[in-house]
Structure formats: structure tokens, C-alpha cells
Amino acid sequence: MKSSGELEYSIVNWDTNLLTPTGLQSAGPLFSIDCTQESVRELGLPHCQILSEGECESLLVAHVTEGDLEVLQPLGVTDTHVTVTVTGLSLFGLLKKWLSIPVKSQVLFFLWPLDGDDEQRRLSILLLPRNIPIDQVKAQKRPQTNIETISNCHLTPGKMYSMSCSLDRGHQIQPMSACFDDDYGPNYHPTFEMFLDLDVKKMNLRRLEKNIEEKQVWTSLVILKGAATKHCSVVPPAAQFVDKHWAELVQRVTTVEPVADNLLSQGQITREEYNKIRVAQTSQQKMRLIYDFLDCGGDSAKSAFYTILRKEAPHLVQDLEAKGSRSGSRSDDQPSSTSSHSNN
């Protein structure tokens, strides 16, 4: 920065029609960057390439303005970032020449929720470059649950990889092998899928590079915590409160921004979802967007929202809870036909 200022950025999709004529491919996300004070002097764009001596020149910077792509020479390249001097801001991203070199990568696991009739668990396994934000992938994979484990590895674009498991039985993996494609979105499809018996609690997984002699490139212990819980489980009271009173919450929560701020800081909504809430015209529109995002996040997201609401609008929560207790509602184990007496 040459002076103080506020910088805003987001990730947007690459236009392949602009990339094709250059003979280059994307080497990172495409960032939309803006600074109203025009005080940015240099940008450091993150990369995940594993560069040996003399390969720094394989990374270039794309500057996209009004549908035109300009290729810029970087000011400097480190193990993690490419620096470029800028005079104006718009869309910036990294490009690379078509070289078959390893890139810093990540292995991500997403567990599908169980329906009442499911006999097996379904686990999606994604191979992605390491500089793709995991929050962006999580948002697209809802209501699947991300299972955190050792994810860092080095993979080579264009090479074939396979997955193996320590279990002797009770699992299936498809496909047998797959090519690693260092694509940067916007869609993040699973590279492999596993189908597991319901009694599987943990397993050792490893990834092999398919050469003449197979080479292990990653291994990890994966623990499926709480994975056997089905949709028919009891809904937490906090989530029940949100679902029951949502129509009134939409009308009566008029200061939405502090609620959205808390949801973002707790990771219950993504930056993209947060921005959509902020630009909505009315508080009712903002609240309807929040509910849509919470519905994707499930009961845990709604419970977090309830806790935030108790802090930001305690009198409203107390009023709605009191109204619920006055309605004469009974516990689920009592027949509804017995609720014939008035509380007045």
C-alpha cells in the first residue's frame, strides 16, 4: 500500500475463452479486487506450484479488464506468492505454462448424511490444489459434512492416482484410478467415492501414484465421528425454535447486520453468502437469505443462529419463547387430542 485504504476482494470464475488463445492455464483462483482509495501498489497472489531452480518464469499474472486479458511479468516469486506491481485494480489471477510439475495439493473428505433406509455411508473424496479455500468447497457440498484429517500432499496434474483402504471388507471405492486435474472451480466434483458399511468407525487410507511402480504420495487415518446418526434423530430445541418462529423472526428482526457478522465469524455462512445478505434491500430479504443458508447448514447452524439471536435480540427471543409456552403445546409423547383445555 502507498497509503491507508480499504481493500475488498472476492473469487470469481475464470473465462476459458480468454485463456485458450494464450496457450496458458490457470494456476490459482481469479480474484476480483477493489480499493476505492486507489492506494494499492503491489499485490501478492498465492500459488501452490512446487518450483525448482529456474522454473519461476513459468508463473505469470493475468490482468482481466472489460473482457480483455493482459499477461503481466511478476515482480518476484516466492514459494507461496507471486508479487506484481499494479496501477489499477480489477481481476487478477495466476497463469502457468503447460508443465507437468507437482503442485501443493489437498485431500478433502465429505460425508453424506444418512437417510432412514440407507445401508451404507457415502464418502466423497476430492483432490484439489491447496490454495482453493476450503470454505468455498464446504459451501458447495452442503449438507455433506467435512471430515478434517491430514490433507497436505504433492500431486502432479495429468498423472493417474488410485485410492487404497486398510479395511479387508465392508467398503467399495470408485473409480479404480483417476487423473488429477488442477482445476480451480467453480464446481468441485469428487475424484473418488467410497461406500462403507454402517459399523465402520475409522480406517487408514493412502493414495498411490500410478506409474510402472506404484508410489505412495499420501496416507492418513480417517475417523468417521458421529457418522451413523440418521436424519430421524431428535432435532435440538434451539433448531426447533428457529423453524417454529421463523415467520415472526423475518418480520421482527430489523437489525440484521450484527447477526450476519456473528454467523460469518463463526463459520456458519461463507463470505459469498454474507455479501449477498449485506446487499439485500430490506431486513426481511436479509432474514430470508439467512434462513436459506441456515437450512443448508442444518440443525447445528440453526442452533448457532439461536445463540446469536439470544445475544443480539434477547427480548424478542424471550417474547417468542413465552408465547410458545402460553400456546398450550405439550411434549411429543402426549396425544394431541388431549390438548383440549384453555390456559386462559
Q: Give the residue-averaged pLDDT of 223-228.
A: 60
pLDDT at 22: 75
Judged against a pLDDT cut of 60, whether residue 329 lies above it is answered with no
Please tell me the distance from the alpha carbon of residue 106 to that of residue 139, in angstroms, as a whole number: 17
- The count of C-alpha atoms lying within 13 angstroms of the C-alpha of 162, restricted to the half-sphere facing its C-beta, is 11
pLDDT band at 52 (very low <50, low <70, confident <90, very high): low
Report the chain's terminal Cα–Cα distance, integer Å: 67
Q: What is the pTM of this model?
A: 0.50
Q: What is the pLDDT of residue 232?
A: 42
Q: How distant is the alpha carbon of residue 74 from its chain centre?
A: 29
pLDDT in tens, 10-25: 888 888 788 777 778 8
pLDDT higher for 218 or 289?
Answer: 289
> Is residue 343 over pLDDT 50?
no
Mean pLDDT of the chain: 81
Q: Which phi and psi angles does 133 have, rounded to 5°?
A: -65, 130
- 260/268 Cα distance (integer angstroms): 9
143 preceded by a cis bond (ω within 30 of 0): yes
Amino acid identity of 289? L
Cis ω before 314 (30° cut-off from 0): no
In which band, very low, low, confident or very high, does the pLDDT at 98 lie, cut at 50, 70 and 90? Answer: low
In the chain, % of residues over pLDDT 90: 17
Three-state DSSP class for residue 138 = helix
Distances (CA, A) of 287 to 179, 246, 292, 304: 43, 9, 9, 15
DSSP state string for 311-326: HH-HHHHHHHHHHHHH
Which candidate, 68, 123, 103, 82, places its Cα nearest to that of 183? 103
Task: Answer whether residue 303 shows pLDDT above 80.
Answer: yes
What mean pLDDT is predicted for residues 122-139? 88
How high is the pLDDT of residue 296?
66
- Higher-confidence residue of 253 and 66: namely 253
DSSP codes joined into one string, 9-76: EEEE---HHHHGGGT-EE-SPEEEEEETT----EEEEE--B---TT-GGGEEEEEEETTEEEEE--SE
Query: What domains sit in the chain, N to C, each tagged with a CATH number?
Result: 7-96 (no CATH), 103-223 (2.60.40.2660), 237-324 (1.10.533.10)
pLDDT digits (tens, 9 = 90+) for 186-205: 788 899 999 988 878 778 88
Q: Residues of 176-210 as b/e, b for ≥16 C-beta within 10 angstroms? A: eebebebbbbeebebbbebebeeebeebebebbbe
